Structure 1
Amino acid sequence: RGIALHTVAEGLTDEMHIGLKGTMNALFLKDLAEKTRRGQRGRIEKGRSGGGLAYGYDLSNDDEGSAGGRCINEQQAMIIRRIFASFAEGETPNAIAAALNREAIHGPGGRAWGATTIRGHPARGTGILNNALYRGELVWNRQHFIKDPVTGKRQVRLNPETEWVIKEVPHLRIIDEPLWQAVKDRQREVERRHGRVRDGVRKS
């Protein structure tokens, strides 16, 4: 014997109604996600923050007086320059992190430094050594997420560079171009000698 389903808002509800509501909710969420992405893209194109606050910066109002601007935190910028210079000169992320921790210098979020925080993932633009903002570039849409149909977990997929949105923000540059390129050269050399760094976890 079937059981009738009543809701406070809509009264008697049948299977067709439930299916229709599910479809409408899915379309609403898709539309909301697209609007959110358009909003994020618009903020990036205006040189504003599209997400979290990276190490090395403080929040501020932009030139129009709107929230979402950033300015350089000079104390943290000194640490970033030190990390880049040390890596370019041949130190490993492990050694750099150990030195900073010995000196009681806090990392992002006030946490201790780890090699992964420094090394990150070059292709994804994660980690101190790969943050394009330090060279004065805001990069958005570098990657997207998909849901694994088996595990239900999100997985990262890189987007083609042609789909990236890049905005020059020279007032936020912390690392000069020669030092940035020196770090990229060493990363390529490490990859050539030891193989690709996967997810930023291999010790270099």
Structure 2
Amino acid sequence: MTQEDLSRFGRDYITVGDYISRVFPFLGVRFISVNDGFDSINPQDIDSLDTSFRTLIYDLYSRDLSRKVRSARKARAERGAFLSPYAPYGYIKDPEDKNHLLVDEEAASVIRRIFQRAADGLKTWEIAAELNGDGVISPKNYKIDAGCTRTPWRSIQEDNFWTANLVGKFLRDERYIGKVVFGKRVRDAVGSTHTVKISRNDWIVVSDMHEAIVSEALFEAAQACMREYRECASPTDSDKPLKRKVICGVCGHVMKRDGRKNASYSCGTRRLNTRFDCPDEKVPEADILDAVMETIQVYAQYAVSIDRLLIARQNQRQLDRKQAQRQLQSLQSKKAQLDKRLQDLYEQLVEGELSRESFASQKKSITARMEEISRTISELERKASSDDESSNALIEKFKSYAGITALTKEISNDLLKSVTVYPDGYMDIQLNLVDEIQELMETLRRESCTA
């Protein structure tokens, strides 16, 4: 792997250091940073002070740059500039000013219909069902047809449809009355794509910055018919470790959890869109948790087994190094003897005790032998000086979950990607970092086959 410099690979100096000193050597990956003159094939480059300081400086620089960029964006937002990369449904970006919005009449008519039906007293799911029944194309598909390149939300089905949550989101959006709203979410770490919600009181809201799609009177009428808005704190409760991670295997949407004591998950898509034959049966949360725990334990046991193999391989390499050192001593002694023999040949040639033909023949044989020994010595010196591998961080992570008795919110955020539930009861459980575990296992398998 070749990068222009270390900062192009990563700017978190702890993560970069872990990859350079542990992950890449284990996977047999050679990492080269051209501008920094770094090459992982040279052991002295990996843990040098120069490399450590470079990664630390890149980290500090990126954090300082991030603060300046945030400050500049905030100042622009306060002046009413629209800074989001994509225009909201119902608007398009002004071709002459990317920070200004223009009304998209086709989509805007749908937005007006949504607000009017809400003001008439319809619930959000009833509005969504009506739009689906009338064949109104969903915002996602509408934008794709218009050429939008935004990465679509996770969904099993390519066709998207209106949902109650989406309708509710539009009804709460003040941008439809001409306001620019900035700062609803913020990234919680430099270089991270993960964002956290910001309190409504801290949003930047500037009025009359673009043409409104609905009047303020209609907007307020729709709000009056909806449930009162209550700002919820970021979820920190540990009793919902599966929140937004249980997916319907038919429609691809998140399944809803009921709030009962014996909680269960169900899919509400069927009442919104009759085209999907989602099952009516509720899936007990306890069954999903048991399946997830069982899967985690399987990979935790894999990690324990891999760790044992790594320890065995490390022990074998230590034995190999000791044997290499003994062979080195023997070969160095032989090389010294050959050096002495070659010196004796020179003396015999000078004193006339040896003919030139005999000298040349013996010298050629001794030189060839010395070159062969030198190559072997170089290889043995490399083996003898190789460092012991530290425990793999990925393996240690999974090992720490061996024997857990409950799925907490923290473990779920760390390990669980999704649980897809199908009508026949089958669950497809996707864990984070599983591909890396399987790659480690395959690497060890290949090494055992070639040993």
Taking structure 2 as the reference length, the TM-score comes to: 0.35
Task: List aligned pairs for 1:1-204, cutoff 5 A.
Answer: 8=34, 9-10=36-37, 13=45, 14-51=47-84, 52-61=86-95, 65-110=96-141, 111-119=160-168, 127-146=169-188, 154=194, 156-159=196-199, 161=201, 163-189=202-228
Q: Which has the higher strand share?
A: 1
Aligned residues between the structures: 180
Query: Residues 35-69 of structure 1, C-alpha deviation per residue, up to 9 Å, x if partnerless?
Result: 432343344334332112100001214xxx43332
* Structure 2 CA distance for partners of 1:134 and 1:16, relative to 1, 3 Å: same
Distance in 2, matches of 1:91 and 1:186, equals: 8
* Structure 2 CA distance for partners of 1:31 and 1:189, relative to 1, 3 Å: closer
Distance in 2, matches of 1:143 and 1:172, equals: 24
**Partner amino acid, structure 1, of 2:78:** E
* Structure 2 CA distance for partners of 1:190 and 1:26, relative to 1, 3 Å: closer
* Structure 2 CA distance for partners of 1:159 and 1:49, relative to 1, 3 Å: same
Percent of aligned positions that are identical: 25
Q: How far has the Cα of 1:94 moved from its partner?
A: 1.4
Runs of 5+ consecutive residues of structure 1 not aligned to the other structure: 120-126, 192-197
Query: Residues 161-187 of structure 1, C-alpha deviation per residue, up to 9 Å, x if partnerless?
Result: 1x3222223532112112211222223
Contact 1:138/1:167, CA 8 A, preserved across alignment: yes
* Structure 2 CA distance for partners of 1:181 and 1:37, relative to 1, 3 Å: same
* Structure 2 CA distance for partners of 1:135 and 1:186, relative to 1, 3 Å: same
* Structure 2 CA distance for partners of 1:76 and 1:67, relative to 1, 3 Å: same
Distance in 2, matches of 1:10 and 1:113, equals: 54
Distance in 1, matches of 2:196 and 2:163, equals: 22
Q: Secondary structure at the match of 1:68?
A: strand
Distance in 2, matches of 1:129 and 1:34, equals: 33
Runs of 5+ consecutive residues of structure 2 not aligned to the other structure: 1-24, 26-30, 39-43, 142-159, 236-243, 245-255, 258-267, 269-451
Q: How far has the Cα of 1:133 moved from its partner?
A: 0.6
Q: Secondary structure at the match of 2:81?
A: coil
* Structure 2 CA distance for partners of 1:108 and 1:166, relative to 1, 3 Å: same
Contact 1:146/1:157, CA 8 A, preserved across alignment: no
Q: How far has the Cα of 1:144 moved from its partner?
A: 2.6
Distance in 2, matches of 1:190 and 1:164, equals: 16
**Partner amino acid, structure 2, of 1:75:** E
Contact 2:90/2:107, CA 8 A, preserved across alignment: yes
Q: Secondary structure at the match of 1:67?
A: strand
* Structure 2 CA distance for partners of 1:91 and 1:66, relative to 1, 3 Å: closer
The alignment's C-alpha RMSD in Å is: 3.4
Taking structure 1 as the reference length, the TM-score comes to: 0.71
Distance in 2, matches of 1:79 and 1:128, equals: 11
* Structure 2 CA distance for partners of 1:174 and 1:66, relative to 1, 3 Å: closer
